């Protein structure tokens, strides 16, 4: 849509000019026109080169290595129990961080372990830790979560012995190990329902009926 708008503007008049900038990590880059190249005159020539040049510059930006100082991290300090109503939004945040290669570190101060944060740290490559002595938080922060990703590879840091991968059902917000899964939106339910409450699709699968007991005739 942006390129169509740009081309429409260039075609309005042969003297029309424009600049496309991309805001990247710590810098801005010219996508069009190329400051080191030869600027073409004439809207027809510009029209044929805009798409090619913009996509080429965007590809170069996407493939360029990111400076170590600009690598983001997330540290979650949690002092409350998990709420089932927040399961969907938290999982969406986890998948977004995983896609962007953003590690999620978790410091759990609640009385019970957090299954949500266990999954968040495990899936994103972060550090999950539940301090036994909350009075020493400063030492924990400095010794565990201060180091960057490269430095962590040289340190002996806490690891998770086990991760609770159980999910929450979408119907009753309960922790479940097995579930009925909607084939369209992948919603999880602890009980079978012919109609998905999330997307409204009607299931063609009928639940299995319990087998009748067999009585032996003596």
**Distances in whole angstroms, Cα of residue 2 to Cα of each of 7, 29, 41, 60:** 9, 17, 21, 19
Count of domains forming the chain: 3
* Distance from chain centroid for Cα 188: 19
Q: Are residues 56 and 74 in the same domain?
A: no
User: What pLDDT is stored for residue 51 in this prediction?
Assistant: 77
SS3 174: coil
Q: Are residues 21 and 89 in the same domain?
A: no
Flag whether 138 is in a domain. Answer: yes
Query: How far is the C-alpha of 45 from the C-alpha of 188, rounded, in Å?
Result: 54
Contact between residue 47 and residue 8 where contact means Cβ atoms under 8 Å apart: no
Q: Are residues 146 and 178 in the same domain?
A: no
Mean pLDDT (the chain) is: 81
User: What pLDDT is stored for residue 195 in this prediction?
Assistant: 86
Residue where a domain terminates, one of 13, 31, 63: 63
User: What pLDDT is stored for residue 124 in this prediction?
Assistant: 94
Owning domain of residue 18: 2-63
Flag whether 159 is in a domain. Answer: no
User: What pLDDT is stored for residue 153 in this prediction?
Assistant: 87
User: What pLDDT is stored for residue 217 in this prediction?
Assistant: 59
Q: Are residues 22 and 50 in the same domain?
A: yes
pLDDT-based confidence at residue 125 (cuts at 50, 70, 90): very high
Flag whether 183 is in a domain. Answer: yes
Q: Are residues 74 and 53 in the same domain?
A: no
Flag whether 53 is in a domain. Answer: yes
User: What pLDDT is stored for residue 108 in this prediction?
Assistant: 94
* Distance from chain centroid for Cα 183: 22
Flag whether 212 is in a domain. Answer: no
pLDDT-based confidence at residue 181 (cuts at 50, 70, 90): confident
3-state helix, strand, coil in the chain (%, to 5): 35, 15, 50
Flag whether 213 is in a domain. Answer: no
Q: Are residues 172 and 123 in the same domain?
A: no
Q: Are residues 97 and 127 in the same domain?
A: yes
User: What pLDDT is stored for residue 188 in this prediction?
Assistant: 83
Q: Are residues 76 and 44 in the same domain?
A: no
- Taking the whole predicted model, whether its pTM rises above 0.85 is answered as no
Sheet with strand 104-108: strands edge to edge: 74-78, 104-108, 128-129
Residue where a domain terminates, one of 36, 63, 90: 63
Q: Are residues 42 and 74 in the same domain?
A: no
With 90 as the cut, is the pLDDT of residue 164 above it? Answer: no
Query: 38-72: per-residue pLDDT in tens?
Result: 555 455 566 667 778 888 888 887 777 666 556 78
Query: What DSSP designation does 7 have?
Result: H
Q: Are residues 77 and 147 in the same domain?
A: yes
Average pLDDT over residues 9-36: 78
With 80 as the cut, is the pLDDT of residue 211 above it? Answer: no
Closest CA to 198 of 184, 211, 208: 184
Q: Are residues 58 and 75 in the same domain?
A: no
CATH number of the domain that 93 lies in?
A: 3.40.50.410
Closest CA to 50 of 16, 96, 97, 83: 16
User: What pLDDT is stored for residue 183 in this prediction?
Assistant: 80
Average pLDDT over residues 126-145: 90
Flag whether 211 is in a domain. Answer: no
User: What pLDDT is stored for residue 131 in this prediction?
Assistant: 92
With 60 as the cut, is the pLDDT of residue 11 above it? Answer: yes
Residue where a domain terminates, one of 34, 63, 92: 63
Which of 32-41, 48-57, 101-110, 146-155 shows the lowest per-residue confidence on average (mean pLDDT)? 32-41
Q: Are residues 44 and 19 in the same domain?
A: yes
> Rg of the Cα trace of the chain?
27
pLDDT-based confidence at residue 177 (cuts at 50, 70, 90): confident
Dihedral sign, CA of 49, 52, 58, 61?
Answer: negative
pLDDT-based confidence at residue 167 (cuts at 50, 70, 90): confident
Cβ neighbors of 181 (< 8 A, separation 6 or more) are 187, 188, 189
SS3 of 89-154 = HHHHHHHHHHHCCCCEEEEECCCCCCHHHHHHHHHHCCCEECCCCHHHHHHHHHHHHCCCHHHHCC
Flag whether 216 is in a domain. Answer: no
- Dihedral over alpha carbons 52, 55, 58, 59 (to 10 degrees): -100
């Amino acid at each position: 849509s942006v390129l169509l708008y740009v081309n429409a503007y260039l075609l309005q008049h042969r003297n029309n000019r424009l600049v496309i900038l991309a805001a990247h990590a710590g810098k801005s880059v010219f996508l069009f026109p190329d400051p080191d190249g030869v600027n073409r005159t004439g809207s027809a020539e510009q029209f044929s080169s805009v798409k090619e040049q913009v996509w080429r510059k965007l590809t170069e930006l996407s493939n360029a290595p990111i400076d170590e100082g600009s690598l983001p991290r997330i540290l979650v300090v949690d002092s409350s129990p998990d709420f089932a109503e927040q399961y969907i939004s938290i999982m969406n945040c986890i998948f977004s961080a995983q896609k962007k290669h953003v590690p999620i570190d978790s410091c759990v101060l609640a009385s019970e372990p957090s299954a949500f944060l266990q999954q968040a740290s495990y899936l994103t490559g972060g550090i999950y830790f539940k301090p036994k002595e909350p009075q020493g938080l400063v030492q924990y922060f400095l010794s565990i979560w201060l180091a960057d990703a490269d430095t962590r590879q040289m340190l002996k840091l806490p690891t998770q012995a086990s991760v609770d991968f159980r999910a929450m059902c979408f119907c009753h917000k309960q922790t479940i190990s097995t579930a009925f899964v909607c084939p369209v939106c992948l919603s999880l339910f602890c009980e079978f329902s012919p109609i998905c409450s999330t997307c409204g699709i009607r299931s063609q699968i009928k639940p299995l009926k319990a087998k009748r007991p067999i009585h032996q005739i003596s």
